[in-house]
């Protein structure tokens, strides 16, 4: 099980480094938020690796904070920066996201750990055990759902919308395929995460690996086909 998370972690951080490197060159907000979102993605899978070898209350809190609460929202905010052109909207949403992220951090720091933690089974995934160990109050659960719904709609919906625009106008085929891969990749852990939260089947770790591979492939494909104006991976800026 840990090999899957190790691979996911390596790919996530390479992907994050590639996006943040582009941010250093381009200085566009969408790349910054995507880069940070991918760092959270990598932290989520890294903590899964650590939890496969040893249990720590702070590691499981970091796992929940980065993987369950922040990743989708920060990646989605990158797409919002890219697609929402109305002045001030993306920035306002970003401010709200930063505030909610800080509240999430506070909630996680304050979240109690149950005595069940002593019987944490390292051979089982954290996603199968966290509910018995980490006490999440209504605010934490509500915030988790809000951040995930926002991030998933923005990231997956944005990539589908961009791919549709490229398809409709029959331009930039590689970017169209790249966006399809990004949408599919982002959807995998989003669906798996929803299944876990809903107490249904748990295929979170595998979905994280497939998800990050698909998104990275989509990013690389989209980057191959640059317009003179920009570099973006989910550019729907045809008009």
Partner 1 sequence: MRKKGTGIKPQSKRFTPSKWNEYLVPIVLILLLIGLLATLVIVALSLYGLTPGI
Q: Which stretch binds partner 1 (CB under 8 A): 21-29, 77-85, 102-110, 190-198?
A: 190-198
Q: How far is the CB of 131 from partner 1 (least distance, A)?
A: 7
Q: Does 190 bind partner 1 (CB under 8 A)?
A: yes
Asked whether 178 and 200 are in contact (CB, 8 A), the reply is no
# residues near partner 1 by CB under 8 A? 37
Q: Does 69 bind partner 1 (CB under 8 A)?
A: no
CA distances from 10 to 43, 198, 208, 216 (A): 10, 28, 12, 12
Largest CA distance in the chain: 58
Q: Does 180 bind partner 1 (CB under 8 A)?
A: yes
Neighbours of 217 (CB within 10 A): 17
Q: How far is the CB of 2 from partner 1 (least distance, A)?
A: 26
Interface of this chain with partner 1, residues 158 to 177, rule: CB under 8 A? 160, 163-164, 167, 169-173, 176
With CB under 8 A as the contact rule, the residue among 18, 191, 220, 223 that binds partner 1 is 191
> How many residues does the structure list for the chain?
239
With CB under 8 A as the contact rule, the residue among 184, 204, 213, 215 that binds partner 1 is 184
Query: Which tokens belong to 128?
Result: 């199968």
> How far is it, in rounded angstroms, from Cα 130 to Cα 172?
44
3-state secondary structure of 113: strand
| Residue 66: φ, ψ to 5° | -75, -50
Q: Does 143 bind partner 1 (CB under 8 A)?
A: no
3-state secondary structure of 120: coil
With CB under 8 A as the contact rule, the residue among 53, 86, 92, 239 that binds partner 1 is 239
Looking at beta carbons only, is 23 or 216 nearer to partner 1? Answer: 216
> How far is it, in rounded angstroms, from Cα 96 to Cα 8?
29
With CB under 8 A as the contact rule, the residue among 157, 206, 223, 231 that binds partner 1 is 157
| Residue 227: φ, ψ to 5° | -90, 160
Looking at beta carbons only, is 13 or 41 nearer to partner 1? Answer: 41
Can you give the binding site for partner 1, defined by CB under 8 A?
131, 141, 145, 148-149, 152-153, 156-157, 160, 163-164, 167, 169-173, 176, 180, 183-184, 187, 190-191, 194-195, 197-200, 225, 227-229, 238-239
């Amino acid at each position: 099980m840990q090999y899957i998370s190790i691979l996911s972690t390596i790919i996530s951080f390479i992907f994050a480094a590639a996006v943040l490197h582009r941010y250093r060159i381009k200085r566009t907000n969408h790349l910054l938020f995507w880069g940070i979102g991918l760092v959270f993605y990598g932290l989520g899978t890294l903590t899964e690796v650590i939890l496969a070898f040893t249990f720590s209350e702070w590691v499981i809190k970091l796992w929940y904070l980065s993987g369950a609460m922040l990743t989708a929202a920060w990646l989605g905010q990158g797409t919002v920066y890219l697609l929402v052109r109305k002045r001030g909207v993306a920035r306002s949403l970003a401010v709200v996201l930063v505030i909610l992220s800080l509240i999430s951090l506070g909630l996680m720091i304050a979240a109690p750990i149950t005595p069940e933690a002593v019987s944490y089974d390292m051979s089982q995934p954290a996603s199968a055990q966290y509910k018995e160990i980490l006490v999440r109050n209504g605010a934490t659960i509500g915030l988790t759902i809000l951040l995930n719904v926002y991030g998933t709609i923005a990231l997956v919906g944005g990539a589908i919308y961009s791919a549709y625009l490229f398809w409709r106008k029959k331009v930039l085929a590689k970017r169209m395929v790249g966006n399809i891969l990004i949408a599919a990749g982002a959807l995998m852990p989003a669906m798996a995460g929803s299944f876990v939260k809903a107490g249904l089947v748990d295929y979170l770790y595998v979905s994280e690996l497939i998800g990050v591979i698909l998104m990275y492939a989509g990013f690389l494909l989209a980057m191959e086909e640059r317009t003179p104006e920009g570099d973006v991976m989910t550019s729907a800026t045809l008009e």
